[in-house]
Amino acid sequence: MLRTGKVVFTGDGEIEVSFERPEACAHCGACAGQKEETRVTIPGSVPLGRWVDVEMPDAQVLKASALAYVIPMALLLAGIWIGSLIFESEAMWGLCGIVLMACAWFILRRIDRRMKKQPRWQPQILAVHEEGWDAPTGCGR
């Protein structure tokens, strides 16, 4: 996945790049009306205000998305199943499912910390555009 974004922060060997959300994300609703941009912190040194091309391998994006959806869903179903073995009330089954699904947040945070240390999971800067470069339409101007 190749995206073009603008460097909005630099410091301590890292830059923060702002991207406009792609059109494919417009109908999802997961962001519930939040800003129309996303920001990513990337190791590197690029002057503030420059446009950069950033790549994240498609396979890694797909794997990360799968983890973000599969782990909470699996824990929700496991919690409901465990609740059904322990309790007679369906409300308690649901509560067990919700509790285990909430545990997914902690699991995903741990996984995220490990993934951040591995270069293959990090976005890479492919190109830094010259000052005055005219960004293409839809790049978060």
Mean pLDDT by 10 residues, the chain (141 residues): 86 85 62 67 84 84 87 95 95 96 93 83 83 62 43
- The answer to whether residues 12 and 3 touch, using CB atoms and an 8 Å cutoff, is no
- The answer to whether residues 17 and 92 touch, using CB atoms and an 8 Å cutoff, is no
pLDDT at 140: 46
Edge-to-edge strand order for the sheet containing 37-43? 37-43, 14-20, 2-11, 51-55, 124-128
Q: Which two tokens stand for residue 42?
A: 């990337």
49 torsion bin: left (phi>0), alpha (psi -120 to 50), beta (else):
left
pLDDT at 28: 62
pLDDT at 136: 63
Domain boundaries, the chain: 1-56+123-141, 57-121
pLDDT at 24: 60
pLDDT at 141: 43
